[in-house]
Amino acid sequence: MKAETIISIIGENIKSIRVQYVANHGNAGDAIIAQATAGIVERLGLILDDDANTVLVGGGGNLVPFQHCGSLMEKINKIPADKSVVMLPCSLDGSYPAELKKVSQFHPSFTVLCREEVTFRLAVNAGLNAVRCSDVAFTLDLPKFSIPIGGNHLTAFRGDSESADRVRLGTLNRLGKNQDLSLMFEQRWWTLDEKTEEVAMAFVSFLLKFASVDTDRLHVAIISARLGLYVRFWPNGYHKNEGVFVASLTEFPNVRFMTPFA
């Protein structure tokens, strides 16, 4: 899905030029999401206003049990029922069906932009307004980051509970071969500010040192693919990686989705 299409889909689902932004908590991959969101806000001419009747909720893998689902859900539940809510492209895994149904009942105008097909079906089943839309990282403005790409190989597997293969991860860590880029920076609520831009720029600049990557980090894969690195993209602990690969990354000839670790 082209950047213009993603931005258009988001714009079509926002009912007002004034929006309140509810940030997502997470790692440096979430900083990429937030920085891309800041660019979309600017391109759509939106005005950030905490009293606005339209609320944008930061996207990502933020409503799954591995992440700060409870904290974000608390924020969502505090949004007044008469406000229009748009959750930017995200992943759901169905672990909280009752909570999702509560959201749809309390916020009849709650729209979930779904970055892969399983999430789309889960949102529909919960009674939420579901719209297919690729991850906002595909809209991040990369030219200003461009420098010559290096020739090294990066191994960047996640070191948290969302890993699909803890044994292989442990081996890589013992050998000193794993660099979990997404955890090299602080975790925080990624508001649309200068700190987010700083981390996003550092994230991209780090990747530009390499020519190829093995990773199960979604945003390492997306940005690497867009920069032209050869990417071997591995499964994570639920459907997210494979789903986003099928929905958005198959058009990149430099990306190969790998079978689960043997």
User: DSSP string of 56-90?
Assistant: EE--EEEESTTTTHHHHHHHHHTS-TTSEEEEEEE
Q: How far apart are CA 159 and CA 103, in angstroms?
A: 31
Q: Report the percentage of the chain scoring pLDDT > 70.
A: 85
Provide the 10 A C-beta neighbour count for residue 16: 14
Are 99 and 122 in contact, with CB atoms under 8 Å apart?
no
Provide the 8-state DSSP code for 126.
T
Domains of the chain: 3-139 (3.40.50), 143-257 (no CATH)
In this predicted structure, which of 4-13, 31-40, 74-83 has the lowest mean pLDDT?
74-83
Position with higher pLDDT, 162 vs 172: 162
How sure is the predictor about 73, in pLDDT bands with cuts at 50, 70 and 90? confident
Q: How far apart are CA 108 and CA 18, in angstroms?
A: 20
> By three-state DSSP, how is residue 27 classified?
coil
Structure tokens at 41: 């806000």
Tens-place pLDDT, residues 108-161? 888 999 999 999 999 999 889 999 999 999 999 986 555 556 679 999 998 776
Mean pLDDT rounded to a whole number for the chain? 86
Burial class (CB in 10 A: 0-12, 13-18, 19+), 257: middle
Tens-place pLDDT, residues 78-116? 888 889 999 999 998 777 677 778 777 888 888 999 999
Task: Give the residues across from 154 on adjacent strands.
Answer: 213
Tens-place pLDDT, residues 223-250? 999 999 999 999 988 889 999 999 999 9
- Checking if the pLDDT of 209 tops 80, the result is yes
Mean pLDDT of 204-222: 94
